[in-house]
Amino acid sequence: MTGIREQPRASVSAGRPFKALYAGNASSVMQRGWLATRSTNWLVVVSGFFEPIFYLLSLGIGLGSLVGNVTAADGHDIPYAAFIAPGLLATAAMNGAIYDSTWNVFFKMRFAKLYEGMLSTSLGPLDVALGEIGLALARGALYALGFMVVMQVLGLNLSWWAIAALPAVLLVAFGFASFGMGITSYMTSFQQMDLINIVMLPMFLLSATFYPLSVYPEPVQWVIQALPLWQGVELIRGLTTGVVGVGLLWHVLYYLVMILLGLILTTRRLRALFLD
Amino acid sequence: MPGPVITATKLVKKYKDFAAVDGISFQVAPGESFGLLGPNGAGKSTTMRMVGAVSTRTSGDLEILGLDPNAFGPEIRSQLGVVPQTDNLDTELRVRENLMVYGRYFGLPRAAVAARASELLEFAQLADKAKAKVDDLSGGMKRRLTIARALINEPRILLLDEPTTGLDPQARHILWDRLFRLKEQGTTLVLTTHYMDEAEQLCDRLVVVDKGRIMAEGSPAALIREYSSREVLEVRFGSERNADAATRLAGIGDRIEVLPDRILVYSSDGEAELARITELGLHPITSLVRRSSLEDVFLRLTGRSLIE
């Protein structure tokens, strides 16, 4: 049989513990995902794309005609649809990332034994985590881009800052995807997987998505502010409505920490499950 | 002679208090075909996972291709081919895509993987199934695809965990033929099995494993010579008379094993022993003289059958 290459002899380097976790080849995991999505899952991808758009049309345009204007953070009046659209955008990013990193991952982990196969190659757990999360991000970006085009058409992007909402959406998706995958690794049954929905739905409805945070009494506000979706909604709302200040960086920091913790959790769990 | 590709020394794997592998030592030479023979739960798969650098040992030493799997997992895995006990093919991908994607996991260039995938589909006799869905393949085809996949990185060692369990006889023979070719090409094979015919066909040397320990080691022929007689006479008297007949057979043959449904008489001449039994006035319902197998070795060593 043909020779492919010289086998690289291992060299001992200072980064040894890290090398056992990461082979720098997350892209092969992503390529696998594209190939699989192309052949089997495209319908799910399409349905996830339209969900937030229906919300925007029914609540933003429909309900919005009753509500009229709301007051933005800087005191200006903005249309209700422009108020909730960034909330829906953040939620779409969250849902896309969560679907890929929870249900998809759960299936691959428990039934398809996909990761077992991957981890008997030279891939490390961090390659698998980054590859799967990268795929979730790509999908989140696709949803976000489509939704933002709809927002633009409806005149709901009130500032040029809205362009920055796109990377912000990726940040939000990254945070949810890395945590979602880590948490999914603890799940052993479909019943437990339903817990994820039990957390996601109230978070979607209550995170100042449809009304300002100020409607809550102060102690409740603190709780809401601690939730990741509120952080994402505020960040993206600031950008699409053009109310931009240094304060937005706190939301960015929140997500950077969330991403880091999520990646650590996921990598450790993959290692414990498949490389014990 | 080149050094061994695998050296295990007093290898132990404990899950809480239970020792799945309890002090196993063995070496595998390059190009050798080495088997771990034992019943289910003997610790074979756990040993294979440690050798495959996907499970860390509790104690003892392990060297694969000169490297310690605790520190060099990815480097070792890049030079291994793994055929797990249950197929874990990617069912969302087609047959050829399975090979392509797996090759990419090793970081190999796409063109090289493509060429290799075509060769391996030929080798696995799956060339006409390249575009088929994995779920549409038969059990034997899936197994061959798993083996082809394990060869995509041109591994120096191929690890096979129960390669033919669950396959029908024809599919097993096709698979053995493929594995035998690999062996002829000089691939180092390490396999676990609880089929003695498989061990006899494929293994140059094997260890008999039971309860996480090695009971014996040697070539199949040497093990049979050492632990069994040349021939075995199997006699059946019916389940009710079995135990009674066994007491009257004392002194017949070199050794006797009484199983619930039959009695095994170990001897260099089975026919002669059968004649003596008839002289005693005992008339077995059925009798059979056969050559000793590894099953007899296992029975001798552990007092139990391989497949229970």
Q: Can you give the pLDDT at residue A12? A: 42
Averaged confidence pLDDT in chain B: 92
Mean pLDDT of B95-111: 96
pLDDT level of residue A261 (50, 70, 90 thresholds): very high
pLDDT level of residue B105 (50, 70, 90 thresholds): very high
> What's the token pair of residue B265?
């008489």
Reported residue count of chain B is: 308
Domain annotation covers residue A4 = no
Mean pLDDT of A223-241: 95
Mean pLDDT of A111-140: 88
In chain B, which residue's Cα lies nearest the Cα of A3? B154
Domain annotation covers residue A101 = yes
Q: Can you give the pLDDT at residue B52? A: 95
Please tell me which residue, B26 or A11, carries the higher pLDDT value: B26
Domain annotation covers residue A16 = no
> What's the token pair of residue A187?
């799940």
Q: Can you give the pLDDT at residue B124? A: 94
Q: Which domain holds residue A208?
A: 26-274
pLDDT level of residue A217 (50, 70, 90 thresholds): very high
A36/B88 Cβ within 8 A: no
**Interhelix angle for B139-150 vs B110-123, to 10°?**
140
A2: which chain B residues are within 8 Å (Cβ-Cβ)?
115-116, 119
Tell me: pLDDT of B140 over 50: yes
Could you tell me the residue ranges of all domains in chain B? 6-219, 229-291
Mean pLDDT of A167-180: 93
Q: Can you give the pLDDT at residue A40? A: 64
pLDDT level of residue B95 (50, 70, 90 thresholds): very high
Please report how many Cα atoms fall inside a 13 Å half-sphere around the Cα of residue B186, on the Cβ side. Answer: 4
pLDDT level of residue B294 (50, 70, 90 thresholds): confident
Mean pLDDT of B88-117: 96
pLDDT level of residue B40 (50, 70, 90 thresholds): confident
The structure tokens 């999914």 sit at A184
User: What is the Cα–Cα distance from A264 to A131, expressed in whole angstroms?
Assistant: 14
ipTM for the predicted complex comes to 0.84
The structure tokens 């001992």 sit at A12
Q: Can you give the pLDDT at residue A47? A: 75
Tell me: pLDDT of A86 over 90: yes
Averaged confidence pLDDT in chain A: 86
* Highest mean pLDDT (candidates A1-15, A27-41, A194-208): A194-208
Q: Can you give the pLDDT at residue B64? A: 96
Tell me: pLDDT of A1 over 60: no
* CA B18 to the chain's CA centroid: 23
Mean pLDDT of B227-231: 92
A40: which chain B residues are within 8 Å (Cβ-Cβ)?
92
Closest CA to A170 of A261, A55, A54, A92: A92
Domain annotation covers residue A5 = no
User: What is the Cα–Cα distance from A140 to A94, expressed in whole angstroms?
Assistant: 8
B233 touches B288 (CB < 8 A):
yes
Domain annotation covers residue A207 = yes
Q: List, in order, residues 6 or more apart from B220 with CB less than 8 Å away.
A: B196, B199, B200, B203, B206, B294
Domain annotation covers residue A1 = no
User: What is the Cα–Cα distance from A206 to A199, expressed in whole angstroms?
Assistant: 11
Mean pLDDT of B187-207: 90
For B10-27, the pLDDT digits (tens) are: 999 999 889 999 999 999
Please count the structural domains in chain A. 1
Tell me: pLDDT of B86 over 60: yes
In chain B, which residue's Cα lies nearest the Cα of A121? B77
What are the angstrom distances between the C-alpha of A233 and each of A137, B74, B300?
17, 41, 72
Q: Which of A120, A123, A135 to mutate to test the interface with B (most CBs of B within 10 A)?
A: A120
B33 touches B207 (CB < 8 A):
no
Tell me: pLDDT of B160 over 90: yes
The residues facing B263 across adjacent strands are B235, B258
Query: What does pTM read for this prediction?
Result: 0.86
Q: Which of B105, B135, B145 to mutate to test the interface with A (most CBs of A within 10 A)?
A: B105
Closest CA to B151 of B181, B193, B194, B130: B181
Q: According to CATH, what is the number of the domain B229-291?
A: 3.30.70.920
Q: Can you give the pLDDT at residue A17? A: 65
Tell me: pLDDT of A4 over 60: no
A233 touches A176 (CB < 8 A):
no
Q: pLDDT above 70 covers what percent of chain B?
A: 98
B91/A4 Cβ within 8 A: no
The structure tokens 């033919």 sit at B164
Q: Can you give the pLDDT at residue A73? A: 74
CB-CB: which of B72, B93, B153 is closest to A35? B93
A37 touches B119 (CB < 8 A):
no
Mean pLDDT of A183-204: 88
Closest CA to A229 of A81, A91, A54: A91
Secondary structure of chain B in the HEC alphabet?
A: CCCCCEEEEEEEEEECCEEEEEEEEEEECCCCEEEEECCCCCCHHHHHHHHCCCCCCCEEEEEECCECHHHHHHHHHCCEEEECCCCCCCCCCEHHHHHHHHHHHCCCCHHHHHHHHHHHHHHCCCHHHCCCEHHHCCHHHHHHHHHHHHCCCCCCEEEEECCCCCCCHHHHHHHHHHHHHHHHCCCEEEEEECCHHHHHHHCCEEEEEECCEEEEEECHHHHHHHHCCCEEEEEECCCCCHHHHHHHCCCCCCEEEECCCCEEEEECCHHHHHHHHHHCCCCCCEEEEEECCHHHHHHHHHCCCCCC
B77/A112 Cβ within 8 A: no
Domain annotation covers residue A20 = no
Tell me: pLDDT of A229 over 90: yes
Q: What kind of architecture, by CATH, is found in domain B6-219?
A: 3-Layer(aba) Sandwich (3.40)
φ, ψ for residue A181 (rounded to 5)?
A: -65, -40
User: What is the Cα–Cα distance from A108 to B178, expressed in whole angstroms?
Assistant: 30
Other beta carbons within 10 Å of B253? 24
Q: pLDDT above 90 covers what percent of chain A?
A: 45
- Range name among A38-52, A259-273, B255-269, B276-290 with the lowest pLDDT average: A38-52
Closest CA to B80 of B227, B189, B173, B181: B189
- B73 contacts chain A (CB < 8 A): yes
What are the angstrom distances between the C-alpha of A59 and each of A49, A209, A210, B116, B220?
17, 11, 9, 55, 76
B155: which chain A residues are within 8 Å (Cβ-Cβ)?
none
User: What is the Cα–Cα distance from B209 to B301, expressed in whole angstroms?
Assistant: 10
pLDDT level of residue A27 (50, 70, 90 thresholds): very high
Mean pLDDT of B258-286: 91
pLDDT level of residue B1 (50, 70, 90 thresholds): low
B122: which chain A residues are within 8 Å (Cβ-Cβ)?
none
pLDDT level of residue B173 (50, 70, 90 thresholds): very high
